[in-house]
Homo-oligomer: A and B are copies of this chain.
């Protein structure tokens, strides 16, 4: 198998687990947050900076790479790893989430999705076979089945039909997937309905994927509902395989995801808010751009050991953001990604040392939701 999960330690009180994922491009610790490199680059970051902060795997987007520069070009470059000079793990999503987000620009059939490019309006077609073929050309270590992310809210009937189709599509992806050096993960859907979530898990397990993602959460539903569905779904997934919660990346959601036994996460949140001038800290968000920090010569986060916090003040970072300097975006991005990766390491250590429950409680007591 291209990817194997090694369980290191299980939390005695919760579903949390510490492990390791073995991939063709190295081994990384779990739980792990995957920085998002939409267009074959994690915005504002260099591969070296990502390595320095301990990123073991990044995510890239099939939809975007298919449009620019094109999967054939990436294949010609020797695959995505070589193209972007990243020799650790890469996961590509299927493009499903992006094309479904196009709204009126797309049309779904049993066969696949017809859509128009958000860049130039050109016509395209994506199907389970096509999405798998593109991902084989890109050459990530982990690729995702082509699915429909059930919107929120959705009627039970719609969610059922969509989820059943996602299962049929997952089977077609599996048929189309022939690269032995890649792992194809299935994606659990089912909307906000527990019966559909259970059905989706059962059907995908029957197809025997080397890993499973929980999709369709964090799509606008209230957090308690998300946590309820996560608690319902995650424990049903096979213990010996990695579990990936898609599109989740705020500290509070990460703690809950880990508690329910999730191993991998991704989200544009940390990099996106960084570019808006917001820093993530262990106590909540800090809007560095705010006037109150103009003469604050302390680091962004006094508890942080990242490049930004070791070398620059809030006042300097704010000055760069206010004057729209690229280096400002670099510094906030470095901080946020370092913070999240470090946060995952701390959770993992807590699991290993049998104190995850206390870690979670202390975190929630100090964290200011915003």
A77 close to B43 (CB less than 8 A): no
User: 0/1 per residue, A322-359, Cβ < 8 Å to B?
Assistant: 11011111100000000000000000000000000000
From residue A320, how far is it (CB to closest CB) to chain B in Å?
Answer: 6
Contacting residues, chain B, for A319 (C-beta < 8 A) = 39-40, 68-69, 73, 83
Contacting residues, chain B, for A78 (C-beta < 8 A) = 297
A73 close to B325 (CB less than 8 A): no
Q: What separation, in Å, do the CA atoms of A319 and B69 have in the docked complex?
A: 6
From residue A273, how far is it (CB to closest CB) to chain B in Å?
Answer: 15
Q: Which of B83, B85, B313, B326 sits near A44, CB closer than 8 Å?
A: B326
Q: Which of B39, B85, B295, B315 sits near A311, CB closer than 8 Å?
A: B85
A326 close to B76 (CB less than 8 A): no
A312 close to B73 (CB less than 8 A): no
B73 close to A43 (CB less than 8 A): no
Contacting residues, chain B, for A315 (C-beta < 8 A) = 69, 73, 77, 83
Q: What separation, in Å, do the CA atoms of A319 and B322 have in the docked complex?
A: 28
A77 close to B327 (CB less than 8 A): no
From residue A41, how far is it (CB to closest CB) to chain B in Å?
Answer: 5
Q: Which of B41, B318, B325, B328 sits near A325, CB closer than 8 Å?
A: B41
- Interface: A46 (CB within 8 A): yes
- Interface: A84 (CB within 8 A): yes
Contacting residues, chain B, for A47 (C-beta < 8 A) = 311
Q: What separation, in Å, do the CA atoms of A297 and B313 have in the docked complex?
A: 40
Contacting residues, chain B, for A169 (C-beta < 8 A) = none
Q: What separation, in Å, do the CA atoms of A83 and B320 have in the docked complex?
A: 11
Residue of B nearest to A324 (CB): B39
From residue A289, how far is it (CB to closest CB) to chain B in Å?
Answer: 13
Residue of B nearest to A65 (CB): B319
Contacting residues, chain B, for A68 (C-beta < 8 A) = 319, 322-323
- Interface: A316 (CB within 8 A): yes
A316 close to B39 (CB less than 8 A): no
From residue A107, how far is it (CB to closest CB) to chain B in Å?
Answer: 26
A326 close to B329 (CB less than 8 A): yes
From residue A239, how far is it (CB to closest CB) to chain B in Å?
Answer: 39
- Interface: A294 (CB within 8 A): yes
User: Known: A40-B316, A77-B315, A85-B311. Contact between A69 and B327, CB under 8 A?
Assistant: no
Q: What separation, in Å, do the CA atoms of A329 and B313 have in the docked complex?
A: 24
Contacting residues, chain B, for A329 (C-beta < 8 A) = 326
Q: Which of B40, B46, B73, B295 sits near A76, CB closer than 8 Å?
A: B295
| Most B CB within 10 A of own CB, among A46, A312, A329 | A46
- Interface: A219 (CB within 8 A): no
CB<8 Å pairs between A and B, sample of 13:
A39-B325, A43-B325, A44-B327, A45-B327, A46-B330, A68-B322, A69-B294, A69-B315, A76-B297, A77-B316, A83-B315, A326-B329, A330-B330
Given contacts A41-B325, A46-B327, A83-B319, list 20 more A-B pairs with CB under 8 A: A39-B319, A40-B320, A43-B325, A44-B327, A46-B330, A47-B311, A64-B323, A68-B323, A69-B315, A73-B295, A76-B295, A77-B297, A77-B313, A77-B315, A83-B315, A83-B316, A84-B316, A85-B311, A85-B312, A85-B316
The residues of A with any CB-CB pair to B shorter than 8 Å are 39-41, 43-47, 64, 68-69, 73, 76-78, 83-85, 294-295, 297, 311-313, 315-316, 318-320, 322-323, 325-330
